[in-house]
Structure 1
């Protein structure tokens, strides 16, 4: 299946799966009408991909509920596909399909958009690829771990932050969450498993343990919760813990529904994608300003690439070889050590040092030439994009999708 070529297709079509195979593209009629109407006022630059990324991104920033987000969602379809395909092929077991991973990432598009900084001069696809890859690996790791734990082991492995997020995700209000958190803390304090540390098959606490947990909770509530908070029985505490475990599983192991799944009973059934929220966008405003910003960003991209290429060339030959094998051939540090007949810890040190050098050069350029303040979040952002640039340089994606 050929990759999308035209601007209209890039920003209006969504990948369609049959089982685990990508079989083609489906067009969203509203998005097509929207971009066609917009192009009437921008014919001289209608074929500029970067222009439309910039335009829709600005529209999304002004109105997150607008159709702009769906245009960007369409644009990132191929990025999600390639990350999902590579992850399933190279890292994880067959239980994870490409379509499953694809839907997991699409559900996290907001994180990509919120973290993206177009003024830094990097493209949305490159940034999206780095974030999607990181998010997917972490999500699959969490899902695999959560899936094989009992509720009681899962509750002992949790952090307060994760439990709070999970309870908020199911719509629980803050006052009730406070009670659940206190009960969970009491559970962690008093339930000391007799099995060996690290077992995932932790058994349910005994009645005596639940009674002790309830007693501790009722004492602590007087100090930590509002004065009108009622006492809780051991049975209620147990129900709360079961509900907490279910909330965590639902939060980290959600069911993923394709946007292209039809709903309704007739042959003319609509798809879920037809009901995405948003109003028709107005025609582009301030076209000249946007075009100038696009040109300035392209200049920045060229200069940043030049900085990275120069920094890469300044590394010694062995360090460049390690980077090429790590990012291009996607070999592990152990595999590189065997190939180069070196110790693994030396490979790790050389790789870390080389990345530090590249990051230092790039960060210095951003500070001096782009006048960007180098706080920790910005450095993390620059580091993420630098690693993605290395992947693209040494292992560029193919131009066509496989069936």
Structure 2
């Protein structure tokens, strides 16, 4: 199998099987248009496989998004294929083909996405590689048990919860489900009571066993909210076979591919109808998050820069700033306390602010590439004043807590 190289291929192509044999990659038109559009919007991600895996995983998490699921299903095609190919030989007799097993595994992509966080250490691919293997092993074990078990053996193996889920999945009403569950319980109790010693094969109940099951049901039916009339063995057998049929279908469902043609149409596939409504909103969300993160990092850098610049000021300048911003003294009060002239206080405060302002302006020009126009300097000066007030106010609160 040829490995896919480009982002366009990774997120818009699917494996194609013909006569149970692999026949290469085929593009999905809708997904191709989708990823092509986004690559034009953010071209720097042309080779960033992990970026797009996280991007679409986030889309799938934040919205009920079929388009995101389509992209991620395409992305995990190779991982799923090799996991299935590696797992099948572990079973001595497998009725399903490689293509069938592949469809069973790839259908569980939503379950895998729910359990994986690609932002953490494990990438989506590495997590999926293990998950696909577990999924197909469980499915094959279950398939073998179901294939080898007849209806009566299957009913005896079932739990009440599984049978209830199967009947609910089949659209049976709660009232009927209650009767079928009681019939199943009576069947399991009656079958065990009437089973002959030494008989290992689970077969259809004989007439005597049916009579015991029927007696138990007609006695226990009075516990139901709507007991109904008494049942015959034929009715109970019909109910139990119905339950077994839907339990088998529920435990081992038929998997349909999104690449199947539309019913009654000569062109188009099922996934052509997937909605596409996330481009602008998701892209804007990604950009906004990146900008917020950048802004947060810049604020941390500026804070550390100002703290370092403060430490380099003369002890007297640091004292003046502390008296002015932390103790909220006026320039006149500071002059009286330090026994200097007020104009000296004003001059030294201005000089200290200028040192801090110069440090920020230089950082803005070199790091953020912002030209120091008069308006920019004015804005920075306002921001600096706010920072000084907050910084010394926090110092004061920390000092109070320590005391």
TM-score bin, normalised by smaller chain: 0.5 to 0.7
Gaps of 5+ in 2: 295-403
Change (3 A) 1:261 1:55: same
Question: Is 1:189 aligned to residue 189 of structure 2?
Answer: yes
TM-score by length of 2: 0.65
Change (3 A) 1:146 1:66: closer
Question: What corresponds to 2:270 in structure 1?
Answer: 272
Contact 2:169 2:250 in 1 (8 A): yes
Note the C-alpha offset of 1:4. Answer: 0.9
Contact 1:42 1:287 in 2 (8 A): no
Note the C-alpha offset of 1:68. Answer: 0.8
From 282, 285, 288, give the equivalent of 2:279.
282
Note the C-alpha offset of 1:237. Answer: 1.2
Question: What corresponds to 1:254 in structure 2?
Answer: 253
Change (3 A) 1:219 1:176: same
Instruction: Map 1:4-403 onto structure 2 (within 5 A).
Output: 4-93=4-93, 95-192=95-192, 193-194=195-196, 196=198, 198-199=200-201, 202-223=202-223, 225-227=224-226, 229-262=228-261, 269-275=267-273, 277-283=274-280, 284-288=283-287
Of residues 257-266 and 141-150 in structure 1, the stretch that sits farther from structure 2 once superposed is 257-266
Note the C-alpha offset of 1:229. Answer: 4.4
Higher relative contact order (CA 8 A, sep 6+): 1
**Separation in structure 2 between the aligned mates of residue 138 and residue 294 of structure 1, nearest angstrom:** 42
Change (3 A) 1:294 1:102: farther
Gaps of 5+ in 1: 296-403
**Separation in structure 2 between the aligned mates of residue 208 and residue 77 of structure 1, nearest angstrom:** 54
Q: CA RMSD in A?
A: 2.7
1:120 alignment partner, SS class? coil
Q: Provide Cα deviations, 1:39-68, integer angstroms capped at 9, x if missing partner.
A: 233222242111111111111122224311
Q: Which of the pair has more CA radius of gyration? A: 2
TM-score by length of 1: 0.65
1:270 alignment partner, SS class? coil
The structure with the largest helix share of the pair is 2
Question: What corresponds to 1:324 in structure 2?
Answer: none
Contact 1:88 1:97 in 2 (8 A): no
Q: Provide Cα deviations, 1:324-355, integer angstroms capped at 9, x if missing partner.
A: xxxxxxxxxxxxxxxxxxxxxxxxxxxxxxxx
Note the C-alpha offset of 1:90. Answer: 4.0
1:118 alignment partner, SS class? coil
Which portions of structure 1, spanning 4 or more consecutive aligned residues, are displaced by more than 4 angstroms? 227-230, 263-266, 288-295
Contact 2:221 2:227 in 1 (8 A): no
For these two proteins, the number of residue pairs brought into alignment is 290
